[in-house]
């Protein structure tokens, strides 16, 4: 059986997950979703992986969304199960302990953009196009798009994009705040790796606690968010890495973090 999700270590502390179904624009078939979920389970909390890059195979598509061809002939019950599986898999990406950078090497429509929205940051090739196009197909974003996009770019703009099913080019997506970086296709992966390595050199437990504090804190009022931050900070006080960070600062050298 062909494997639709690949995982490899690109550099120390940096892992790469690749959706590898280019002939179908890396669309989310049941097999791809199952493999992606299993890969995320393996990577989650792996001490050798401090930052994760998520991309698609080829140069045309990051992920074109749900596999609508596979969905043909399915019963309403089966469709609901598939939509639930997509949502659960996307949420797994968001819940990954490590920071995740979406490397958009091509189109990201529908569920493909929802997958990218679940990542911590997004980088796009100049030829990339993105959009939550579901309303043009008689449905709505069903894997978190109606929730994550407004939180990222604001309610008004998100409603505009969802209601119109508009497709944006990379620069438009950047101006809206959907992606943080845009690069030429030939330099995208190298730029993504550089950013990931810049993160991976820092204390891995700190990265994880910072992610928890940010993700959970933005969902609550400020006072509660500050308590969440305090708890995340407190979790780092007894760690060896905190002591190593202090010692390295005193000795004016680069810290050697172990994730302990």
Q: Which of 25, 57, 66, 203 is catalytic?
A: 66
Pairing of strands 121-125, 100-104: parallel
Q: CA of 200: how far to CAs of 12, 77, 162, 194, in Å?
A: 8, 43, 35, 10
Catalytic residue among 97, 114, 131, 259: 114
State how far the Cα of 109 lies from the Cα of 56, in Å rounded to an integer. 13
Residue 187 annotated as catalytic: no
160 has catalytic annotation: no
Single out the catalytic residue among 111, 145, 245, 259: 111
Q: Write out the two tokens for 83.
A: 């939509």
Q: Which of 134, 145, 203, 245 is catalytic?
A: 134
Q: Is 111 a catalytic residue?
A: yes
Active site (annotated) includes residue 38: no
**Catalytic residue IDs:** 66, 111, 114, 134
């Amino acid at each position: 059986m062909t494997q639709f999700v690949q995982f490899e270590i690109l550099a120390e502390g940096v892992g790469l997950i690749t959706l590898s179904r280019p002939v179908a624009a890396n669309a989310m078939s049941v097999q791809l979703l199952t493999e992606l979920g299993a890969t995320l389970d393996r990577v989650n909390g792996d001490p050798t992986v401090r930052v994760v890059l998520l991309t698609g195979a080829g140069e045309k598509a990051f992920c074109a969304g749900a596999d609508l061809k596979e969905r043909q002939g399915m019963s309403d019950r089966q469709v609901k199960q598939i939509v639930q599986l997509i949502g659960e898999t996307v949420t797994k990406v968001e819940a990954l302990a490590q920071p995740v950078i979406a490397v958009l090497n091509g189109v990201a429509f529908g569920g493909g953009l929802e997958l990218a929205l679940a990542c911590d940051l997004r980088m796009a090739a100049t030829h990339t196009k993105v959009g939550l196009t579901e309303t043009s197909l008689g449905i709505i974003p069903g894997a978190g798009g109606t929730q994550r996009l407004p939180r990222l770019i604001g309610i008004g703009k998100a409603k505009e994009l969802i209601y119109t099913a508009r497709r944006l080019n990379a620069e438009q997506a950047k101006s809206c705040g959907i992606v943080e970086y845009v690069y030429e296709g030939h330099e995208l992966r190298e730029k993504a790796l550089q950013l990931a390595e810049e993160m991976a050199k820092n204390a891995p437990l700190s990265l994880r606690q910072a992610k928890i504090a940010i993700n959970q804190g933005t969902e609550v009022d400020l006072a509660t968010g500050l308590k969440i931050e305090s708890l995340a900070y407190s979790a780092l006080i007894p760690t060896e890495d905190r002591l190593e960070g202090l010692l390295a600062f005193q000795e004016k050298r680069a810290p050697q973090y172990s994730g302990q």
